[in-house]
Amino acid sequence: MGDTTNTFDAIVIGSGMSGGWAAKEFCEKGLKTLVLERGRDVKHLKDYPTTNMLPWEFKHRGQIPYAIAKDNPVISRCYAFREDAMHFFVKDNDHPYVQEKPFDWIRGYQVGGKSIMWARQTQRWSDFDFEGPARDGFAVDWPIRYKDLAPWYSYVEKFAGISGNKDGLAELPDGEFLPAWELTCVENHFKDSVAKNFTDRHVIYARCAHLTKPEPIHLEQGRGQCQARNLCQRGCPFGGYYNSNSTTIPWAEKTGNLTLRPNSVVHSIIYDEVKGKATGVRVIDSVTKQATEFFAKVIFVNAGSINTNLVLLNSTSKRFPNGLGNDSGLLGKYAAFHNYRARISAKYEGLLDSTTENGRATGAYIPRFRNVRKQETDFLRGYAVTFNAGRYSGNNSDGFGDTLANNLLEKPKLGPWYVGSQFMGETIPKESNFIALDDTKKDEWGIPQLRISIDYDDNDEKMIKDFMEQTTDMYTKAGFTDIKPHDSKQAPGLDIHEMGGVRMGKDPKTSLLNEWNQLHACKNVFVTDGACMTSTSTQNPSLTYMALTARAANHAIDLLKKNEL
C-alpha cells in the first residue's frame, strides 16, 4: 500500500468526490500519497451491505424507524437517509455543531464520502457563470474562466463516465458524453411545448455520471454498465455510476503509491514559521483518540466544504493566529449554497396509451434562462429547473367488506401522468453567511465545534416567486392541470451543495486562494472541494470540483518537479 513511515510526497485530506481525484492524480504520477479519511473504510463491493437486498428483506420496508428519526431530526430530512443507506450517513449526535441559524449539515464520513450517495447530476459551468460576480457586482471576480477548466472537464468526464446529449447551448457547454437515456413521451411533449412558446428556454436530458455504454477505460477500472436499478445510494455492485470507491481510489491503489488511512480525524495543518510553508498534518485517531503527525511537501484539503473550513480555521500558528492562510480575515465567510426550497407538481391527462420505464438515473433539465446575457428581473442571477414525468399505478380502494376486497384484488391500474419540477437557485455569497469555530464547545476529539450562520435573503425570495410564476406558465402552456406550487421552507444545507468560505480570487486581500487553488499565503496548501467556490451558479457542483482538483493536482506536480513547493 505504499510508504509506511510518516513522511510522504503528498497528503490528501478527504477521500470523497474531490479527494479521490487528488489521490488518483498524485499516485498515477508517481507520488507517494497519504489519504486521510476521518470515517471508516468502505471497499467497493465488499462494504455495500444492502446493495442486493429485496424490499421484503428490510425489517422496516425501507423506512427509518421512529426512534432513529426522532433522535436525528437533521439527517432524517435528507431524501437518501433511508433504511437501505442510513449506514452511510453521519447521525446528528456523531459530530454536533452549533446552528446560529437553522442549517441542515448532511455528511457521510467514510472512504468515498458522499460520492457513494450523491444524486450524480453533472453539468459544466460556462463563462456566464465564471463572469457572473464581476458582471453583477457581488463576491469577487473568479481568477479563471471556462477556457481554463474546459480541458479538465473533458479529462474527468472521460474517466468518470458521463451520460448526455450534445445540446449546443452556450449557457451549458457540451461535454464528453456516453449515450443518454430517452426522455419519456410527456417529457418530450413538454420539451416541444417549451420550444414552441419560448426562444430562451431549453428542455434537455439531464446529464449524469452513469455508464450507459462503458468505454475501455471504464472496463479497465473494473466497472460495468448501469443496470438502471435506481438503488444508487446503496453503492452499486456494477460500478455503474461514478463514486470514489469504485473508480479513483482503486485506481490510485493499484499504483502502489497510495497509503489510505481511515479513522483519521484531521485536527490541523502544521505550519513551519522558519520555512514559511506547511509541513504536515496533525491527526486524531477517531477510535483511540491518539494524536499522530504526518509530513509531506504538498497538502490538498478536500474534507468537504464545511469541514475544510474547520480544518483551516483550527490550523493556527504565530504566523496565522486566525487560521491558516487567513491574512484577509475572510476565512469561513461568504459561505453559500443552492436554494432547493421550491417545487411544483401537476397532472397531464394526455398520452394515456403510453407509460414509462422505471429505473432511469435522471430525467429532463432546464438550464438557467433568467438574467443569462443581461439583467432582466428584480433579482440577481437565476435558477435551473428539473422536470420529470411518470405514471403511478394503484389499486382501487373504494367500498367496504367484499366490495373492497374484490377491488383490491383487481390488477393495479395506471393513473394519469404526474409531472414535477425542482428549483435550484443560485444564492449570492455574503459576508454575513459564515462558518466559525465555537469559543467553548468542543467535539469528542478535542476540536472546536463549528458555528454555522447561513440564511436566505430577499434575492432568494424573489427568485422563488419567479420560478413559481414561470414554471406555472410553462406548465399551463403544455396543457398540465392541477398545478401545485410548494415552498418547503427547508433550512439551507439540505441542498447538500454547501460552498465557499475559502474562495478563489485574484487579490489576496479579498480571497484565500489563487487561480490554481493554492492558498495565497501558504503556497503548498491547496483547496479544491466546495470550499474554494467563489460563487455557486445553478449547476450541480461535483463535476466542477473534480475538474478543479485534477487541474490543481497536475499544477502541484509540475511545481514539485521544479522544486517550487
Residue 363 CA neighbour count, 13 Å, CB half: 22
Q: Check residue 3 and give its pLDDT.
A: 42
Model confidence pLDDT, tens digit, residues 365-420: 999 999 999 999 999 999 999 999 998 877 777 888 888 888 778 878 888 999 99
- Stretch 211-230: mean pLDDT, rounded? 97
Count CB-CB contacts under 10 A for residue 41: 17
Please, are residues 238 and 227 in contact by the beta-carbon 8 Å criterion? yes
Stated pTM of the model: 0.96
Q: Check residue 248 and give its pLDDT.
A: 98
206-216 burial: b if 16+ Cβ within 10 Å, else e: bbbbbbbebee
Please, are residues 452 and 97 in contact by the beta-carbon 8 Å criterion? yes
Q: Give the start-to-end residue ranges of the domains of the chain.
A: 166-206+341-380+382-427+456-491
Model confidence pLDDT, tens digit, residues 19-68: 999 999 999 999 999 999 999 999 999 999 999 999 999 999 999 999 99
Give the dihedral sign, CA 504/507/511/514: positive
DSSP secondary structure code for residue 412 in this structure: P
Residue 191 CA neighbour count, 13 Å, CB half: 19
At 134, is the pLDDT very low, low, confident or very high (cuts 50, 70, 90)?
Answer: very high
Please, are residues 425 and 383 in contact by the beta-carbon 8 Å criterion? yes
At 268, is the pLDDT very low, low, confident or very high (cuts 50, 70, 90)?
Answer: very high
